[in-house]
Amino acid sequence: MKILCSRTTLCRSGVYFIRNGTTGKIYIGSTVLLQKRLGEHRKALRAGRHHSVLLQRAFDKYGEADFLFGVLVICDPADCLLYEQIFLDHFRSATPQNGYNICPTAGNSLGRPVTPELRANMSRAKKGVPQPPESNKKRSAALKGRTRPPRTKEHAEAIAKGLLGHKHTDQAKRNMGNSHKGKKHSSEAKAKMSQSQQGHEVTAETRAKIGQANRGRKLAPFSPERIARMTEANRKSAEKRRLAKVTF
């Protein structure tokens, strides 16, 4: 990418452009430090994850050498968005025929279409990036005490449809198992789960599906510890039934 300004200019704040030398299409932006923003654009474009899908496509098609980076105006940081909007309107760079800007409003993503390709780019950019502990604590504090609205039948059916055919990997299964190891439900939680199941009836169709899914399935051998627990539970149950029959 050819730079059309001096190093001194790059240390200032202002409005810049990225122009395609072949088509003449332009991208308009503003920043408080031009040199830093230039580096961010270069890094994102070379990695194939620029937020402007249109600019990324053109960059991949024509190559980096075909693009120019220049400065339209040097201004105070407080005036950057004002001048950016003026140049966005002047060049009409938010229309695909003229430029690569996604949003027609300076400093605002309102009206920006979130395409599947853009979602994939954002997801790829965030993968493997660890979140700082402070951010995790803030999210946790913000969600504490927050209750979800009752789930409607339509909502539950939509979730079930989305998960239909989905299979967890072996690693995901191990992670879920490890996350629940040693976890004990409180008495209040047990009471809520019990209450939610009261009056719940399993239909004949559901029973048939469960039977079909388990047909031919071999159970893993029980561990000695589990056999001991089951034996003790059965002994206590039999003792309770015996005492219930005793009359005084």
d(CA 100, CA 24): 11
Residue 68 has what DSSP assignment? E
- 3-state SS, 114-174, equals CCHHHHHHHHHHHCCCCCCHHHHHHHHHHHCCCCCCCCCHHHHHHHHHHHCCCCCCHHHHH
Q: Tell me the per-residue pLDDT of 83-96, one tens digit each, with 9 for 90 and over.
A: 898 998 899 998 88
What pTM was computed for the model?
A: 0.46
Q: What's the rounded mean pLDDT across residues 29-33?
A: 91
Mean pLDDT of all residues in 179-208:
83
* Rounded mean pLDDT, 27-49: 91
User: Quick one: pLDDT at residue 172?
Assistant: 85
**φ and ψ of 152, to 5 deg:** -80, 165
C-beta separation of 66 from 21 below 8 A:
yes
Q: Is 106 exposed, middle or buried (0-12, 13-18, 19+ CB in 10 A)?
A: buried
Name all domains of the chain by residue range, CATH numbers in brackets.
2-126 (3.40.1440.10)
Confidence band (pLDDT; 50, 70, 90) for 198? confident
pLDDT in tens, 122-152: 677 667 777 778 877 887 887 787 776 777 8
